[in-house]
């Protein structure tokens, strides 16, 4: 019912502009209901800035109305700021007599923020499981509180014509909901039902459509040990019965993924708890609107096939985040847990189009569960872990992208192009850094095409044209080539400086800081490969103050794939040519053919294709191989993960660490790793368990970094420490390091919702490059 304002009453009018993620989250209906609550008249509309409101009413009513915009905002909304402009002496005939939602307006330069895709809400779940509801078992049910957003939008404002739902005209019932201010589907852009919305279809591996109940057919196929390609929210999954060793092995063979851990999806939290130990923080993360894959500690005896995560004590679990997933897992014949791995071939992006999936996945899947709603942009599953009491993203994608990070100062409009591995890019506009979804490794034509398409998509959505590009210093990165091809004056940022910058940007840390970066490799420009460094850094520059001692990297990148080479290198660093003799080698290295070791030995003796590296990642590889845990990496980080697993199994009682030795070279502190080889070999000879040795190594590294930082604090007076790099994803390392640094009085900052691996590099590039450019 319209609210009428008497002319004799003193009425004020405000123009209110709300900035942030306020489109696609039910914000306009929320504003409408607030206006009804407080007797405010006027209108609300989407525009390129966010949400614009004209509000007229009594002063006290307007005050309450504006306060409630932020305090009572919809759960999925993220308000950055609210601008309020009073209108002087508004004429009575200009004051609206009721409150309206107006059509969106468009302009030249959008600056609103697009909401990420959101997991299905409890209300929609209840509807699809209620036989009396008109959306019973409808797999594309959504409302203003959940459903697709970023993955279906092509441009702003976020209205149905600008999404892939534009082809589905709403039926009378859906239209009535859409226009009812009291309905939670009021202006829900993807609103649909079985009468008017997208539909499922079931196909065999030749692409032939097969009639019948699609969900029942998929459940039966999975129960029979077959692989099903499922078109989801941001792309395809390959699904299989996670409790069947035969089904998981079949999927691994087809995907050529021999041992890399696979994520699973289960029906509910109770089922998840039957497979993993889950604390309150982890349960909250599993059930959050983002619904990421959460890394959890496996229970020792479960129905899960050992082939899901061989040799690893953690399991990645997610709950159903779409009605489709929920309905599939609710089928009586569906297995208790489903492996849900990315629907792609190795080194290719996930498939999003039906025709593409039928062509590329036909040798991987037995069946295809498809639908006819287009996915505009690929969005993979996010991966998270609770470490040191906080949510830490290992992969930032669905549910989190493209939520921006607010930068502390104005910058130019920047495109930061990211790294080569775990790539993401970053767009900075109006001091807001939009970190893209996970792109992955830029190692194939298909992945590079995905990279370029994603940049074009986000630029179109944001109405963005870069004034400046920023890239890694590595001259051979495809991302660096992309940056140089599009801007003559591309700013280069050193890899580890960008790692530090990413944490500073996310955590709003002002420099200078002591930045500890531990990873696999970072381009240095001096002929060596960085990877275990401590820097004095701020936004303007950096100085290396400490590092791990150099190891030889025999064969370059091949050494990362074959950790036994790094074990031999560590022995060689300590023993010299004697390391090539079998009598000085631990039992694990005796499994490698002597001719192979002699060949690598000659490379090291002659200095052929053996760059020096201070890489912490390669040191982890060396120790893992010495212990016989991993001689060959089937996937990135395998040796380090197995070493962490061994260290965690040593129990709560921390064994004595190996002694720390520091030297100085050209003013740089050197953490000497050479003594480790002798100490580890002595422990192996004494039959010390591998778990104890692994724990001692972890403690040695933490003690070494603590000792270095204490000494550097005395030199610099700086007690702020930033932790970054892929090795910081090691939970034992990160938590022990943070705890000991806090004990010594340091203020410690580590990445949280921005990955500390190379997935966060682009934010650091933007943060540093933007400062340099202004």
Spatial CB neighbours of 197, under 8 Å, sequence gap ≥ 6: 138, 140, 168, 174, 373
Q: Are the CB atoms for 265 and 325 separated by under 8 Å?
A: yes
DSSP secondary structure letters along 219-278: HHHHHTT--EEEE-SSSEEEEEETT-HHHHHHHHHHHT-SSS---EEESSHHHHHHHEE-
- The span from the CA of 596 to the CA of 553, in Å, is 15
544 is annotated as an active-site residue: no
Residue 83 is encoded by which pair of tokens?
């601008």
Place of tokens 């039966």: 220
- DSSP sequence for 477-535: -HHHHHHHHH-TTPEEE-HHHHHHHHHHHHHT--S-EEEEEEEEEEE-SSSSEEEEEEE
Instruction: Check: CB of residue 660 under 8 Å from CB of residue 616.
Output: no
The residue annotated as part of the active site, out of 28, 396, 547, 695, is 28
Location of structure tokens 């189009």: 353
CA distance 102 to 28: 9
Q: Are strands 747-750 and 720-724 parallel, antiparallel or unpaired?
A: parallel
What sign does the dihedral 249-253-255-259 (CA atoms) show?
A: positive
Distance CA 347, CA 562 (A): 19
CA angle 424, 519, 679 (to 5 degrees): 165
360 is catalytic: no
Q: What distance, in Å, lies between the first and last C-alpha atoms of the chain?
A: 53
Cβ 165 vs Cβ 193: under 8 Å: no
From the list 46, 145, 354, 423, the catalytic residue is: 46
Enumerate the active-site residues: 28, 46
């Amino acid at each position: 019912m319209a609210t009428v304002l008497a002319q004799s009453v003193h009425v004020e009018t405000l123009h209110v502009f709300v900035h942030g993620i306020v489109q696609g989250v039910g914000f306009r209906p929320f504003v409408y209901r607030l206006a009804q609550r407080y007797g405010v008249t006027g209108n609300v509309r989407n525009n390129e800035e966010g949400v614009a409101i004209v509000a007229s009413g009594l002063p006290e009513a307007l005050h309450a109305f504006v306060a409630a915009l932020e305090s009572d905002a919809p759960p999925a909304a993220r308000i950055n700021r609210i601008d309020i402009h009073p209108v002087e002496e508004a004429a009575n005939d200009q004051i609206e007599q009721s409150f309206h939602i107006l059509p969106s307006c468009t302009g030249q330069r959008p600056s609103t923020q697009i909401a990420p895709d959101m997991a299905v809400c409890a209300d929609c779940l209840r509807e699809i499981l209620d036989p009396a509801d008109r959306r019973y078992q409808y797999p594309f049910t959504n409302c203003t509180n959940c459903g697709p957003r970023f993955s279906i939008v092509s441009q702003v404002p976020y209205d149905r014509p600008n999404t892939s739902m534009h082809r589905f005209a709403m039926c009378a019932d859906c239209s009535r909901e859409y226009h009812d201010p009291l309905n939670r589907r009021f202006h829900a852009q993807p609103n649909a039902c079985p009468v008017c919305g997208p539909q499922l279809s079931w196909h065999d591996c030749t692409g032939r459509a097969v009639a019948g109940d699609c969900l029942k057919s998929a459940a039966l196929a999975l129960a029979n040990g077959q692989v099903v390609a499922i078109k989801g929210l941001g792309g395809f999954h390959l699904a299989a019965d996670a409790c069947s060793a035969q089904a998981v092995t079949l999927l691994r063979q087809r995907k050529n993924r021999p041992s890399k851990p696979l994520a699973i999806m289960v029906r509910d939290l109770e089922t998840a708890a039957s497979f993993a130990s889950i604390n309150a923080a982890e349960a909250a993360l599993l059930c959050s609107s983002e619904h990421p894959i959460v890394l959890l500690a496996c229970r020792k005896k479960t129905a899960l096939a050992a082939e899901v995560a061989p040799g690893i004590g953690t399991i990645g679990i997610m709950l159903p985040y779409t009605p489709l997933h929920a309905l599939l897992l609710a089928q009586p014949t569906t297995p208790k847990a489903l492996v849900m791995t990315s629907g792609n071939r190795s080194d290719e992006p996930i498939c999003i189009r039906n025709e593409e999936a039928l062509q590329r996945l036909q040798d991987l899947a037995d069946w295809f569960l498809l639908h006819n709603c287009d996915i505009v942009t690929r969005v993979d599953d996010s991966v998270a872990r609770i470490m040191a009491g906080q949510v830490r993203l290992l992969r930032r994608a669905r549910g989190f992208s493209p939520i921006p990070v607010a930068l502390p100062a104005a910058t130019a409009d920047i495109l930061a192009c990211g790294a080569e591995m775990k790539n993401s890019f970053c767009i900075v506009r109006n001091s807001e850094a939009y970190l893209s979804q996970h792109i992955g490794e830029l190692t194939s034509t298909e992945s590079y095409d995905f990279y370029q398409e994603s940049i074009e998509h986000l630029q179109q959505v944001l109405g963005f044209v870069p004034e400046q590009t920023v890239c890694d210093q590595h001259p051979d990165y495809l991302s660096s080539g992309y940056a140089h091809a599009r801007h003559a004056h591309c700013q280069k940022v050193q890899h580890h400086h960008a790692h530090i910058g990413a944490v500073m940007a996310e955590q709003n840390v002002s420099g200078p800081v002591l930045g500890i970066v531990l990873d696999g490799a970072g381009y240095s420009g001096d002929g060596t490969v960085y990877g275990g460094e401590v820097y004095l850094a701020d936004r303007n520059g950096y100085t290396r103050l400490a590092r791990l001692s150099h190891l030889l990297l025999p064969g370059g990148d091949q050494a990362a794939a074959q950790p036994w080479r790094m074990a031999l290198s560590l022995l060689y660093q300590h023993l010299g040519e004697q390391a090539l003799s079998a009598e000085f080698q631990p039992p694990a290295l005796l499994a490698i053919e002597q001719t192979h070791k002699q060949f690598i030995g000659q490379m090291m003796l002659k200095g052929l294709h053996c760059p020096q590296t201070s890489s912490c990642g390669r040191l982890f590889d060396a120790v893992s191989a010495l212990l016989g845990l991993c001689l060959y990496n089937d996937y990135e980080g395998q040796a380090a993960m197995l070493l962490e697993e061994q260290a965690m199994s040593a129990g709560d009682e921390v064994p004595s660490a190996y002694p720390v030795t520091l030297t100085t070279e050209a003013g740089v502190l050197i953490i000497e790793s050479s003594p480790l080889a002798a100490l580890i070999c002595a422990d192996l000879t004494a039959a010390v368990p591998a778990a104890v040795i692994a724990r001692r190594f972890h403690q040695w590294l933490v003690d070494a970094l603590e000792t270095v930082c204490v000494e550097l604090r005395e030199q610099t007076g700086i007690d702020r420490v930033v932790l970054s790099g892929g090795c910081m994803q090691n939970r034992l390392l990160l938590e022990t390091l943070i705890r000991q640094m806090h004990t010594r009085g340091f203020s410690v900052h580590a990445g949280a919702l921005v990955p500390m691996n190379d997935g966060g590099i682009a934010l650091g590039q933007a943060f540093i490059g933007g400062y340099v450019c202004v």
